Amino acid sequence: DQQVKQNSPSLSVQEGRISILNCDYTNSMFDYFLWYKKYPAEGPTFLISISSIKDKNEDGRFTVFLNKSAKHLSLHIVPSQPGDSAVYFCAASYSGSARQLTFGSGTQLTVLP
Amino acid sequence: GAGVSQSPSNKVTEKGKDVELRCDPISGHTALYWYRQRLGQGLEFLIYFQGNSAPDKSGLPSDRFSAERTGGSVSTLTIQRTQQEDSAVYLCASKGRVVTGELFFGEGSRLTVL
């Protein structure tokens, strides 16, 4: 039973345009959400997070939106750059889980020059 | 180094052999996690260590898998009698004291079981 789902395995966007990566979750106990970026042969690196008490968090070109009623979050990258090409993982946790992260299956983003 | 260090980076073994994977977390980080990523899949939680508490082993897929953390620092993940389905990248991560703090991952150990 996948509690965190990323239904798009891949996404291609043109450089300078907006990239929107989506993530859905089923466990209503999740109260903290994160996005990680992973380059080939490297470990995932933290990108941005959001607590369930917020619906938006922005950090430079990256913004995460949380819609609790829909159990949906999204990552917006504006403007997209070729260096953003990577696999993006959505992750979620809740306070009763010792902050273990449950990860989605990832979305491969390719930013075309 | 300053990051999470894992070894070996690549391991090829024959079915039925035992393997050990090592993780050296960031100095001072009290929490240590093992995840694995099979081809085309997301990261799958295996085990979690927090300080001197008993580890959370709820993610270990079978009793062939075990892990220990000596002295609250270095951790070893052992897979006995490896099977082909054990082939994956095994990722170690550590975290500092902030409750909602993000995990810092190592580069992973790629295990291939022939």
Q: Where is mean pLDDT largest: A93-107, B26-40, B87-101?
A: B26-40
Q: Establish if B67 touches chain A: CB-CB under 8 angstroms.
A: no
Q: Establish if B33 touches chain A: CB-CB under 8 angstroms.
A: yes
Question: pLDDT tens digit string along B34-48?
Answer: 999 998 888 999 999
pLDDT at residue number A98: 62
Q: Is the pLDDT of residue B58 over 60?
A: yes
Q: Residue B41, SS3?
A: coil
CA B76 to chain centre: 7
pLDDT at residue number B2: 77
Q: Which amino acid is at B3?
A: G
Question: pLDDT tens digit string along A20-37?
Answer: 999 999 999 999 999 999
Give residue B99's pLDDT band: very low, low, confident or very high (50, 70, 90): low
Whether the Cβ atoms of residue B111 and residue B36 lie closer than 8 Å to each other: no
Give residue B77's pLDDT band: very low, low, confident or very high (50, 70, 90): very high
If residue B5 lies in a helix (H) or strand (E), which one and from where to where?
Answer: strand B5-7
The residues that bridge with A35 in the sheet, in sequence order, are A48, A90
Give dist(CA A87, CA A1) in Å, integer.
22
Question: pLDDT tens digit string along A52-76?
Answer: 999 999 999 999 999 999 999 999 9
Q: Give the sign of the dihedral formed by CA B83, CA B58, CA A36, CA A108.
A: positive
pLDDT at residue number B71: 79
Give dist(CA B106, CA B95) in Å, integer.
12
Beta-strand pair B75-79/A102-103: unpaired
Q: Residue A93, SS3?
A: strand
Q: Measured between beta carbons, which residues in chain B are less than 8 angstroms from residue A88?
A: none
CB–CB contact B100 A51 (8 Å): yes
Q: Which residue of A has its CA nearest to B95?
A: A99
CB–CB contact B91 A43 (8 Å): yes
Q: Residue A96, SS3?
A: helix
The residue among A49, A97, A103, A107 with the most chain B CBs within 10 A of its CB, best to mutate, is A103
Nearest to A98 among B56, B101, B107 (CB): B56
Which residues of A lie closer than 8 Å to B, measured between beta carbons?
4, 6, 32, 34, 36, 41-46, 49, 51, 89, 91, 93, 95, 98-106
Question: Could you please report the per-residue DSSP string of B52-82?
Answer: TSPPB-TT--STTEEEEEGGGS-EEEEE-S-
Interface of B with A in 94-113 (CB under 8 A): 95, 99-108
Q: Measured between beta carbons, which residues in chain B are less than 8 angstroms from residue A44?
A: 43, 91, 105
Q: Which residue of B has its CA nearest to A9?
A: B40
Two tokens at A26? 């089923």
